[in-house]
Amino acid sequence: MDRERLRASIEAACELVFSRSGGPGGQNVNKVSSKVTARVALERLEGLSAPEKARVRTLLAPRLTGEGELLVAASGERDQLRNRKAALERLFTLIAGAAIMPKPRRATAPTRVSRERRLAAKRRRAALKQGRGTAPEE
């Protein structure tokens, strides 16, 4: 994954929509469109290999629209510019995080010490259960 290329392609392919933010905000709340909704189509992204794109599409499937676009909204700041930066950063973080391919697990044999520890625990447990037998009748 080419992180710089991915970040640049997100900024280039992203469509931003500005609207009024909800919640308290004083006199500006009804005048300023500070909320940012960022929308990016996953097909237009560069910097990801084909398997990484497939992984992103799979992991972020619940967040995708019917057209395969990822939506992110930011309204935490009172300033449109800061919300814009927050939305773009959130998009990048989501996509880059989902694109990380898991390391393949290599099977390893248990060590001698771990085998001995497991068998010793089994012997202790067996001895404990053996001691629970019924009392001898007289």
Q: What pTM, to 2 d.p., does this model score?
A: 0.70
User: In a 10 Å sphere around its CB, with 0-12 CB exposed, 13-18 middle and 19+ buried, how is residue 125 labelled?
Assistant: exposed
Its CATH architecture, for the domain 3-99, is: 2-Layer Sandwich (3.30)
User: What is the helix (H) or strand (E) element at residue 95, kind and residue range?
Assistant: helix 80-99
Domain edges within the chain: 3-99
Q: How confident is the model at residue 24 (pLDDT cuts 50, 70, 90)?
A: low
The confidence score (pLDDT) of residue 13 equals 87
| pLDDT given at position 78 | 79
Mean pLDDT of the chain: 88
